[in-house]
Amino acid sequence: MFALSAVAAEEKYHFVFLAYFPSIAFWILDGYYLGQEKLFRKLYDHVRKLDDAQIDFSMDTSRLGSIQETWFDGLFSWPGLIFHMVVLLSVIVVTFWNF
């Protein structure tokens, strides 16, 4: 954020808008990995209830839910949403502070 403020202070405003891309990209990536984690937790919960003879050691999570549903859940989970909204709001504040 300090680097972004320094760039804005130098009156190179077009560089300030570049901060939006990594902020949003990391939010999307974080949501995807949180969704994957949720699917693997479902897989673990499914396998722990099986008898030893039924366990096939497959890591296929497609039968437990779709990544689109869990990705959306991960994208808008409270911890992720709070963290990434703070990052985006700080970028917005720095952007409009100098205009």
Across residues 58-82, what is the average pLDDT?
A: 84
The per-residue pLDDT of the chain, averaged, comes to 82
Distance, CA of 81 to CA of 69 (rounded, Å): 16
Which has more confidence, 54 or 64?
54
Question: Which pLDDT band, with edges at 50, 70 and 90, does 99 fall under?
Answer: low
The pLDDT of residue 24: 92
Distance between CA atoms of residues 99 and 94, nearest Å: 9
Rounded distance between C-alpha atoms, residue 22 and residue 28, angstroms: 10
The answer to whether the beta carbons of residues 6 and 91 sit under 8 Å apart is no
CA 35, 38, 39, 40 dihedral sign is: positive
- 8 Å CB contact between 8 and 97: yes
Q: Please compute the mean of the pLDDT values over residues 50-71 and round it to a whole number.
A: 82
